[in-house]
Structure 1
Amino acid sequence: MSTATGVPELTARVRDRLARLHPGADAGELKTLPGGHSGLTYSVAVGEATYVVKAVPPGQRPVGRNDVLRQARVLGALSGSAVPVPGVVAVDETQPAWFAMDFAAGEAVEPVLDEPEVPAATARARMLEIAAVLRRLHITDVRAPGLDAPEPLDPAGELERWSRTLHAVPAELRPGGAELLKRLAAEVPGGLPPVLLHGDFRLGNVLCAGERAAAVVDWEIWSVGDPRIDLGWFLLFTDHRNFPRLGRAVPGLPTEAELLDAYGDGEAALPAMDWFRALGRMKMAAIMGHNLRRHREGKHHDPDQERLPPTIAAMISTARDILG
């Protein structure tokens, strides 16, 4: 784990600010946390406490995934709610901006994709647990103070946005993709009242301690919109067969129907879920196709991306099957 020696000004600002929370305690070095896909992410110890710091990379604008202040807003809005999130302890809007949050202990492991392997019974319990967490997120008041929620996403807008991404993928990398987009566009369902969306809700973005959800993390793409957008994505990760050459079998994981039951908590099933299940698969195909194209064009060298074509094809094929 490397230290933030390349950003001395950030280091000084963070250590000074956090040291004020613990008078007389020494603030340690900022240590880079691996695995992040947005901004810069560090851990830092101050006395007996440990914090996670997210910062805008030097020289970059605080927009999109680098807009760490936007992430701090949603965490602040959820503080004290029924959705477990790390507490925000400091926000510094001076550029490059950063914020610090409590270090949440736990592991975020996607059972069908990630290492280390999680015992099957634990993986099942975690998945059912976070289905209920997602429900609690979706009943959070989107008018929460300080949230400054964006304009809601409706099904048609979500489809249009991701259709552009899939269209940008070379046709040979998305077999059947054009037909899938036509099918989705022909059957767009009406929207439900907008809720707070995580945007990438799955076990890989929830820190768990044992079978308990300790903290929902990675809020880079949160938004407001139809709750089925989150649900359709979450359901993808219960079956390794959705990910040929990438996934592994985990016996006993909940089925999509079981997760929907856990999410619904006895209420009537949400309408048109098949459309959103297909939409989630299209989005995954678009993301993987985009990443593979970047690799093949030499924009981001990652030979592991060559494992993706079977999964891209499977996502498109099963999405078409779901639509009937």
Structure 2
Amino acid sequence: MSAASGATGVAPAETSPERTLAEALSRLAPRLATGATGVADLVRLSGGASQETWAFRLTGPQPRDLILRRRPDQARPGKEDLPLATEAAMIRLAAARGVPEPRVLHVLAPDEGAGEGFIMTRVEGETIGPKILKAPELETAREKFAPQCGRILAAIHAIEPGDLKLETRTAESTLKKMVDDHAEFGQDRPVFELALRWLAQNMPETPPLRLCHGDFRLGNLMMDETGVNAVLDWEGCHIGDPHADLAWLCVGSWRFGGEQPVGGMGPREELWEAYEAAGGGWVDRHAARWWEVAGNLRWGVIIEWMGGWIRAGADASVERHVIARRASEIELLLLADLTGREI
């Protein structure tokens, strides 16, 4: 891909958002590493439902591969994510607690011309669910996935956020937001209405609220032969019920065809027992089921948001259109949830 001035392979007459971004990153290069002279090989990576992820290489005596996480220039309806500076601070806090994380090197300032975001080290591994479930070299990592995730979640839920301003979410507020968002962005779907009614009638007790990741699932967990080696995408971080994180990892859409409920790779009991043994606290099985049903419906409502992004002209990508067509898949998962079946 094109690089900024100070790097190789740039067509001087080219003007594009990518080139503007590359030029801004090139100006930042000396602050990211001693002796760095610019950036090269800037490319936007696929994936990411709401934020942009860019890979690039620092040029100079010691070339280095880095990652930029950046908010899109155009707002997307329904999204209420953290400021990315807060997300960067959360990654640093998690790393200090032993959660596997990339190292945050720089948080972008408004006058730097690169938008809102932060720059971090590049961690090598796999994040694509179907590949993780099939790669022969990840067989051992898959076997220990569920208990490892239980231990990681126990560490996350023990983090004290300090003075960071985080939203508080309870079962009640989560259900209300789904009702409101479905009314605003969705269409008549009897199965969604049935799930909303079931959730209202089966509310769990509210446990002590803790810091939650908010999107802890296959796709946001990087893996190599050793297991999970990075927890990514903290944009949904909040104070809430820890069962929400435990259940979101088991939502049907995040199993990617795997037969087991925990990311397609392990049983729920292995996740819960490891979580409890690591000091995460007792797992209320009723609450875990409630949050799993809520998680399936939440993904369905997010799919409806994405339809709103398309209609608003905020995201016309092929990826977004493909995801926006998957609400019927969620209806099938919800029917299985509500009738006590695994699919």
| 2:135 paired residue among 113, 118, 123 | 118
Aligned to 1:12: 23
| 2:297 paired residue among 279, 282, 287 | 282
Deviations 1:259-292 (A, max 9, x none): 2222222754335222112211221232335546
Cα distance in 1, alignment partners of residues 129 and 143 from structure 2: 11
Cα distance in 1, alignment partners of residues 32 and 227 from structure 2: 29
Aligned to 2:331: 313
CA RMSD of aligned residues (A): 3.4
Give 1:295 deviation, angstroms.
6.8
Cα distance in 2, alignment partners of residues 258 and 2 from structure 1: 47
Amino acid at match of 2:268: E
Q: TM-score, normalised by structure 2?
A: 0.76
Cα distance in 1, alignment partners of residues 72 and 331 from structure 2: 35
Cα distance in 1, alignment partners of residues 51 and 3 from structure 2: 15
Give 1:254 deviation, angstroms.
1.1
Amino acid at match of 1:123: R
Equivalent positions of 1:176-255 (< 5 A) are 176-237=191-252, 247=257, 249=259, 253-255=265-267
Equivalent positions of 1:99-114 (< 5 A) are 99-111=118-130
Secondary structure of the equivalent of 1:203?
coil
Aligned to 1:76: 92
Cα distance in 2, alignment partners of residues 151 and 89 from structure 1: 25
Cα distance in 2, alignment partners of residues 73 and 283 from structure 1: 26
Question: For structure 1, which segment, 102-111 or 269-278, has the greater mean C-alpha deviation from structure 2 after superposition?
Answer: 269-278
Provide closer, same or farther for how the CA distance between residues 160 and 282 of structure 1 changes in structure 2, counting only shifts above 3 A.
Answer: same
Q: Can you give the 5+ residue segments of structure 1 that lack an aligned partner in the other structure?
A: 241-245
Give 1:185 deviation, angstroms.
1.1
Check conservation: 2:154, 2:275, Cα contact below 8 A. Answer: yes
Aligned to 1:25: 36
Aligned to 1:139: 158
- Paired residues in the alignment total 310
Check conservation: 2:252, 2:296, Cα contact below 8 A. Answer: no
Cα distance in 1, alignment partners of residues 331 and 299 from structure 2: 11
Aligned to 1:37: 49
Cα distance in 2, alignment partners of residues 305 and 20 from structure 1: 38
Check conservation: 1:153, 1:225, Cα contact below 8 A. Answer: yes
| 2:102 paired residue among 64, 86, 89 | 86
Give 1:99 deviation, angstroms.
1.6
Provide closer, same or farther for how the CA distance between residues 12 and 224 of structure 1 changes in structure 2, counting only shifts above 3 A.
Answer: same
Give 1:322 deviation, angstroms.
4.4
Give 1:238 deviation, angstroms.
9.1
Check conservation: 1:126, 1:208, Cα contact below 8 A. Answer: no
Deviations 1:186-238 (A, max 9, x none): 22222122222111111211111213221111122211111111111112259
Provide closer, same or farther for how the CA distance between residues 263 and 40 of structure 1 changes in structure 2, counting only shifts above 3 A.
Answer: same
Give 1:100 deviation, angstroms.
0.9
Give 1:257 deviation, angstroms.
2.3
Check conservation: 1:195, 1:224, Cα contact below 8 A. Answer: yes
| 1:51 paired residue among 58, 66, 70 | 66
Q: Can you give the 5+ residue segments of structure 2 that lack an aligned partner in the other structure?
A: 5-15
Aligned to 2:7: none
Provide closer, same or farther for how the CA distance between residues 127 and 296 of structure 1 changes in structure 2, counting only shifts above 3 A.
Answer: farther
Give 1:3 deviation, angstroms.
5.9
Provide closer, same or farther for how the CA distance between residues 232 and 249 of structure 1 changes in structure 2, counting only shifts above 3 A.
Answer: closer
Check conservation: 1:92, 1:99, Cα contact below 8 A. Answer: yes
Secondary structure of the equivalent of 2:57?
strand
Equivalent positions of 1:160-179 (< 5 A) are 160-167=176-183, 168-171=185-188, 174-179=189-194
Answer yes or no: is 1:270 the counterpart of 2:259. no
Secondary structure of the equivalent of 2:223?
strand
Give 1:2 deviation, angstroms.
6.5
Answer yes or no: is 1:156 the counterpart of 2:168. no
Question: For structure 1, which segment, 73-82 or 199-208, has the greater mean C-alpha deviation from structure 2 after superposition?
Answer: 73-82
Cα distance in 2, alignment partners of residues 309 and 64 from structure 1: 21
Check conservation: 1:126, 1:203, Cα contact below 8 A. Answer: no
Question: For structure 1, which segment, 24-33 or 285-294, has the greater mean C-alpha deviation from structure 2 after superposition?
Answer: 285-294
Cα distance in 2, alignment partners of residues 297 and 11 from structure 1: 28
